[in-house]
């Protein structure tokens, strides 16, 4: 299957700082990318959907000014957690789909964010 | 809200077939059934998907009932590495430029393969 790579795999940051997470589609053009958040022992919660070259569409309850998403190219999307707080500590996962009808989404390996 | 119902957990002996059920009684005619799994602390992995016919690939088989209200994922010879949370998801046919592709995850089934 297609490969989606996230970087970094884990990050620890101080409260109040910003953290950027990258999501890359390595062998296909990702027309749409999705960002999820997963708290311990819970399922994945969709945060936002982004189409290349367009503004992201955020799910209800997700602060767009806090979770900045950029999808500037067909192979890269970034999620920036601004002014991080301990409650933002979570497992962040991206997924991507390429051109073509009814294709499956491929997921990155996830990024473990710990805010101290 | 997720539109599927799965048992919270199942056990399976190594080497035996694992049959994971999923109910999706409100599925629409244009919705596919997708299966993903998530091994602990990793991103979900695509397994298989289907519309109305049974499907098979190198990982698993997907059996969809004739009325499409339920399906079963079959791992023919489960190994310890198949221990994971398995998610059954329904989603509509994706339209170019549309926003209806998003996958909504339920709680899934924790499959534990025992030696």
Chain A touched by B42 (CB under 8 Å)? yes
- Of B96, B35, B49, the C-alpha closest to A100 is B96
Q: pLDDT confidence of A55, banded at 50, 70, 90?
A: confident
Chain B touched by A106 (CB under 8 Å)? yes
DSSP-assigned beta bridge partners for residue A101: none
Q: Looking at residue B92, what is its pLDDT?
A: 77
Q: Is the pLDDT of residue A53 over 50?
A: yes
Q: Do A110 and B43 touch (CB under 8 A)?
A: yes
Q: What is the pLDDT of residues B43-56, one digit of tens each?
A: 999 999 999 989 99
CA distance A102 to chain B (A): 6
Q: Looking at residue B104, what is its pLDDT?
A: 84
Q: What is the pLDDT of residues B19-72, one digit of tens each?
A: 999 999 999 888 889 999 999 989 999 999 999 989 999 999 999 999 999 999
CA distance B99 to chain A (A): 8
Query: How is B47-75 classified by DSSP, letter by letter?
Result: EEEESSS-EE-SS-EEEE-TTSSEEEEEE
Of B36, B42, B106, the CB nearest to A110: B42
Please state, in angstroms and rounded to a whole number, the distance separating the CA atoms of residues B33 and B49. Answer: 5
Q: Looking at residue B98, what is its pLDDT?
A: 54
CA distances from B13 to A88, B8, B78, B79 (A): 38, 17, 7, 8
Mean predicted lDDT score pLDDT of chain B: 91
Q: Which residue bears the tokens 């602390």?
A: B41
Q: Is the pLDDT of residue B96 over 80?
A: no
Please state, in angstroms and rounded to a whole number, the distance separating the CA atoms of residues A84 and A81. Answer: 6
The two tokens of residue A112 are: 């473990």
Q: What is the pLDDT of residues A13-42, one digit of tens each?
A: 999 999 999 999 998 888 889 999 999 989
- Of B69, B81, B90, the C-alpha closest to B111 is B81
Q: Which residues of B touch A93 (CB under 8 A)?
A: 43-44
Q: Do A32 and B105 touch (CB under 8 A)?
A: no
Q: What is the pLDDT of residues A62-99, one digit of tens each?
A: 999 999 999 888 899 999 999 999 999 999 999 998 87
Of B87, B93, B102, the CB nearest to A34: B102
Q: Looking at residue B95, what is its pLDDT?
A: 59
Q: A42, A51, A105: best mutation site toward chain B, by most B Cβ within 10 Å?
A: A105
Q: pLDDT confidence of B1, banded at 50, 70, 90?
A: very low
Please state, in angstroms and rounded to a whole number, the distance separating the CA atoms of residues B28 and B59. Answer: 26
Q: Looking at residue B31, what is its pLDDT?
A: 87
């Amino acid at each position: 299957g297609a490969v989606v790579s996230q970087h970094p795999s884990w990050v620890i940051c101080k409260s109040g700082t910003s953290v950027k997470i990258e999501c890359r589609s390595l062998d296909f053009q990702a027309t749409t990318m999705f960002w999820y958040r997963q708290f311990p022992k819970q399922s994945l919660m969709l945060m936002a959907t982004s189409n290349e070259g367009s503004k992201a569409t955020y799910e209800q309850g997700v602060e767009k000014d806090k979770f900045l998403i950029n999808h500037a190219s067909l192979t890269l999307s970034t999620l920036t957690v601004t002014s991080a707080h301990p409650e933002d500590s979570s497992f962040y996962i991206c997924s991507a789909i390429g051109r073509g009808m009814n294709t499956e989404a491929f997921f990155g390996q996830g990024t473990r964010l710990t805010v101290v | 809200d997720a539109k599927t119902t799965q048992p919270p957990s199942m056990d399976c002996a190594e080497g035996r077939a694992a049959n994971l059920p999923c109910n999706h009684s409100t599925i629409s005619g244009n919705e596919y059934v997708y299966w993903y799994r998530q091994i602990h602390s990793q991103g979900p992995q695509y397994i298989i998907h289907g519309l109305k016919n049974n499907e098979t690939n190198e990982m698993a088989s997907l059996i969809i009932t004739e009325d499409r209200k339920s399906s079963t994922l079959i791992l023919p010879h489960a190994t310890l590495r198949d221990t994971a949370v398995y998610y059954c998801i329904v989603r509509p046919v994706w339209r170019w430029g549309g926003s209806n592709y998003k996958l909504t995850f339920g709680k899934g089934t924790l499959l534990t393969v025992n030696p």
